[in-house]
Amino acid sequence: MSVTYLDIFTKLHNYYGDQEWWPAETTLEMMVGAILVQNTAWTNVEKALKLLMPYLDAALLRNMPTEQLEQLIRPSGFFRLKTKRLQAFLEWYFTYNFDHKQLNQHGTATLREELLTIYGIGPETADSILLYACNRPVFVVDAYLRRLMTRIGFDLPSSYEAIRQQFEQVLPLDVQLFNEFHALIVTHAKTHCKKKPICEGCPLVDSCQRRFIKENNHYED
Ligand code: SF4
């Protein structure tokens, strides 16, 4: 492949511009959103966050009765499971007195290791929190990235960790770059490179092999 990951970023950025992620007013809202967005569309998270907004204080949420929290986050789906995950996350955050400055005194590897031990926090959620709430240069891998890069013609490793490490080795370790790159991939996956891609007008069309896309544009996973 003559095209590089950085070329892809540049083309997407030139086309879509700054994405200014994560869409949240506070770090707590960001972290809660990262948990609620698991297995659902962002529009459902927005509905839950709207209900949660008057209570968006870590201590308040930690002390909230389970049934109340369940009802507030219900629009995000899997609400009982996500309540447990949110509560587990808040217990961990409580060990830092809900103080982001205390949390940020720790190294990225330590925080990542801790996040991954929390019930229901997988690598994508942990890395989103590290990147968007803690400003750490951690590359977030998701299904959109895998689909896009595979279609373009990159042979990605199969595991989450290997893909993350590959991007972090090839790209400059830059928080702003990683922040924008992940956001741009999500935007592109929702605009052009959908399950059934809209290749006409795509900013990557000259760099893309359109692998696994049949003539009728149906995508083969
Ligand atoms: S050309 Fe088509 S398959 Fe390739 S990135 Fe663009 S939308 Fe996706």
pLDDT tens digits for range 136-193: 999 999 999 999 999 999 999 999 999 999 999 999 999 999 999 999 999 999 999 9
Cα of 145 to ligand 1 centre, how many Å? Answer: 12
Q: What is the ipTM of this complex?
A: 0.99
Domains and CATH numbers, the chain: 5-19+140-207 (1.10.1670.10), 27-133 (1.10.340.30)
Amino acid at residue number 30: M
Q: What are phi and psi of 173, to 5 degrees?
A: -75, 85
Using a 6 Å cutoff on CB, does residue 151 contact ligand 1? yes
Of 192, 185, 154, which is closest to residue 4 (Cα–Cα)?
154
**CB neighbourhood size of 49 (10 A):** 22
In this structure, are residues 209 and 151 in contact, taking their beta carbons and an 8 Å threshold? Answer: yes
Longest dimension (CA), the chain: 56
Cα separation, 30 vs 33, in Å, equals 5
Pocket test of ligand 1: the residue of 185, 187, 204, 216 to mutate, having most ligand atoms within 8 Å of its CB, is 204
Give the model confidence (pLDDT) of 90-142 as tens digits: 999 999 999 999 999 999 999 999 999 999 999 999 999 999 999 999 999 99
Helix axis angle, 79-94 to 27-36, nearest 10°: 140
Q: What is the whole-number distance in angstroms between the Cα of residue 71 and the centre of ligand 1?
A: 40
